């Protein structure tokens, strides 16, 4: 079977065995091989797919997203918002200002939450790294479960009618917007040539690379240490398939933690290689990404504590459920 990353594997093996004089089977040799193989592989995938996604994202502008979602209600709106979240390059913190803008523009609360959950959790960096580290099947399952969680949580909030727990100033902004004269009824997208789109793709790939390369290297370095030195027996004892509460523990630990997705996923790769169930580590990754501490702090500016607790509870329970589903499917 053709392996596009074979040159990286071959080069890493040559450096470890010939240049460093280490055995691949030794602790230090295994750590160095893991690091030297994963760094060029992950960074190459990151730049290549970020360019492709960035070029395609020129077709989807934030104002256009707000216009599309403004007239959508309940389940259809939740599905559209969660799906659009996959293709928009916003992390959890940059999604929050858009969350406020969506409410101001009249997008329903539950629909807005579907977007807020999907955009940071199922973004292009996560997809690139998952594909490179775990393959297409795991990536598609992650996307499917992530989008499903965003739809279910947002729809649940729609059914609960929790608009009363949004800070009043947000609705005042919405009312002010409605009272302003409208000079055009539809959003008019900016016209790009293909050269413009490719330039945007290059810019986004460059920006993503500059912002996450250090996290990738640090994450892979930590993963390399785990791969080479952490005993498999210890991983299996505390977070293995035999521990029935491993998934909720992983999620609870991930909720208050803030870490870049690019730094977390290489660590999860090492943990999976050591025997930790994939569903457990991916549920931890989802918790870190979808419920980051900075996001919760910023959301508190616009949401009352009651709604914030509902949001955190729904997403946490959903991620735990997904973790168990992952573990049952990916045996």
Contacts of 85 (CB under 8 A, 6+ apart): 114, 115, 116, 117, 118, 119, 122, 147, 150
In a domain, 183, yes or no: no
Compute φ and ψ for 303, nearest 5 degrees: -120, 140
How do residues 127-148 score in pLDDT, each as one tens digit?
A: 777 887 788 888 888 889 999 9
How do residues 247-289 score in pLDDT, each as one tens digit?
A: 888 888 777 665 556 667 777 878 787 778 888 888 888 887 7
Is residue 132 a contact partner of residue 282, using CB atoms and an 8 Å limit? no
Number of domains in the chain: 1
In a domain, 20, yes or no: no
Number of helices (H) and strands (E), helices first, in the chain?
A: 16, 0
pLDDT at 82: 86
How do residues 52-76 score in pLDDT, each as one tens digit?
A: 767 776 665 655 555 566 555 678 8
Compute φ and ψ for 181, nearest 5 degrees: -65, 140
Instruction: Indicate whether 198 pLDDT > 80.
Output: yes
DSSP code of 192? Answer: -
Burial code (b: 16+ CB inside 10 Å, e: under 16) for 282-310 equals bbbbbbbbbbbeebbebbeebbeeebeeb
In a domain, 225, yes or no: yes
Residue whose C-alpha is closest to residue 88's, from 56, 49, 131, 110: 56
User: Which three-class secondary structure state does DSSP give residue 258?
Assistant: coil
DSSP 262-321: HHHHHHHHHHHHTT--HHHHHHHHHHHHHT-HHHHHHHTTTB-HHHHHHHHHHHHHHHHH
Q: And the tokens for 18?
A: 């010939």
In a domain, 278, yes or no: yes
How do residues 288-326 score in pLDDT, each as one tens digit?
A: 777 767 677 767 878 889 999 998 899 899 999 999 998
In a domain, 4, yes or no: no
Q: Which domain holds residue 77?
A: 25-173+195-329
Is residue 64 a contact partner of residue 101, using CB atoms and an 8 Å limit? no
pTM over 0.85: no
In a domain, 85, yes or no: yes
- Bin 243: left if φ > 0, else alpha if -120 < ψ < 50, else beta: beta
The residue among 194 and 92 whose pLDDT is bigger is: 194
Average pLDDT score, the chain: 78
Instruction: Indicate whether 162 pLDDT > 50.
Output: yes
Is residue 265 a contact partner of residue 285, using CB atoms and an 8 Å limit? yes
Instruction: Indicate whether 183 pLDDT > 50.
Output: no
In a domain, 240, yes or no: yes
In a domain, 17, yes or no: no
Q: Which residue has the tokens 């790009």?
A: 192
């Amino acid at each position: 079977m053709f392996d596009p990353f074979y040159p990286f594997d071959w080069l890493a093996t040559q450096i470890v065995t010939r240049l460093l004089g280490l055995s691949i089977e030794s602790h230090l040799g295994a750590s160095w091989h893991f690091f030297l193989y994963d760094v060029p592989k992950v960074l190459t995938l990151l730049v290549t797919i970020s360019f492709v996604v960035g070029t395609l994202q020129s077709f989807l502008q934030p104002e256009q997203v707000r216009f599309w979602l403004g007239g959508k209600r309940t389940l259809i709106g939740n599905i559209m918002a969660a799906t659009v979240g996959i293709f928009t390059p916003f992390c959890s913190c940059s999604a929050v200002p858009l969350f406020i803008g969506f409410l101001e523009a009249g997008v329903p609360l539950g629909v807005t939450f579907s977007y807020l959950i999907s955009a940071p959790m199922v973004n292009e960096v996560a997809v690139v790294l998952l594909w490179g580290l775990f393959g297409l099947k795991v990536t598609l399952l992650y996307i499917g479960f992530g989008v499903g969680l965003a739809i279910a949580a947002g729809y649940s909030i729609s059914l609960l009618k929790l608009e009363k727990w949004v800070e009043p100033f947000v609705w005042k902004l919405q009312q002010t917007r409605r009272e302003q004269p409208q000079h055009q009824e539809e959003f008019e997208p900016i016209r790009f040539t293909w050269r413009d789109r490719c330039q945007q793709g290059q810019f986004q790939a460059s920006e993503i690379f500059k912002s996450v390369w250090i996290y990738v290297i640090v994450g892979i370095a930590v993963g390399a240490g785990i791969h080479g030195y952490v005993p498999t027996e210890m991983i299996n004892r505390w977070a293995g398939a035999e521990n029935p509460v491993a998934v909720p523990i992983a999620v609870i630990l991930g909720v208050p933690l803030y870490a870049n997705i690019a730094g977390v996923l290489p660590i999860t790769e090492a943990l999976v290689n050591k025997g930790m169930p994939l569903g457990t580590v991916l549920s931890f990754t989802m918790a870190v990404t979808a419920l980051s501490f900075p996001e919760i702090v910023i959301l508190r500016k616009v949401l009352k504590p009651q709604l914030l607790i509902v949001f955190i509870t729904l997403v946490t329970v959903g991620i735990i459920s997904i973790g168990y589903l992952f573990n049952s499917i990916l045996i």
